[in-house]
Amino acid sequence: MNAVIKVGGKQYYVTEGSEIYVEKLDCKDGDVVSFDQVLMIDSKVGNPYLSNATVLGEVLKNGKNKKIKVFKYKSKDRSNRLSQGHRQPYTKIKITKING
């Protein structure tokens, strides 16, 4: 089965057994999470969500991505070359079951 779910303001296309990276969720490794905001399962489309549809997943890992470098540059002004960066936290989830 295929599904489209909404997590953290973004939409993800998932199948059973697939692994996705979502924005950090407040859960520990090994926890089972349930997603109720299901937009589509196979050919059934919700308006905006499907009722009585859930997607279950297992949390594999909480962590941080590689560092993203951000450069700020102003032309003809050599003193304001700034480089900043951050590491975006994520949660890796394996989709175990799609109900609907």
pLDDT tens-place string over residues 47-71:
999 999 999 999 999 999 998 888 7
| Number of domains present in the structure of the chain | 1
pLDDT recorded at residue 59: 96
Handedness of CA 32, 33, 35, 40 (dihedral sign): negative
With cut-offs at 50, 70 and 90, classify the pLDDT of residue 80.
low
Q: Is the pLDDT of residue 75 over 80?
A: no
- Mean pLDDT within 2-12: 95
- Mean pLDDT within 9-13: 96
pTM above 0.85, yes or no: no
For the chain, percent helix, then strand, then coil, each to nearest 5?
A: 5, 60, 40
Q: What are phi and psi of 31, to 5 degrees?
A: -70, 155
Domain region containing 86? 2-99
Q: Is the pLDDT of residue 16 over 70?
A: yes
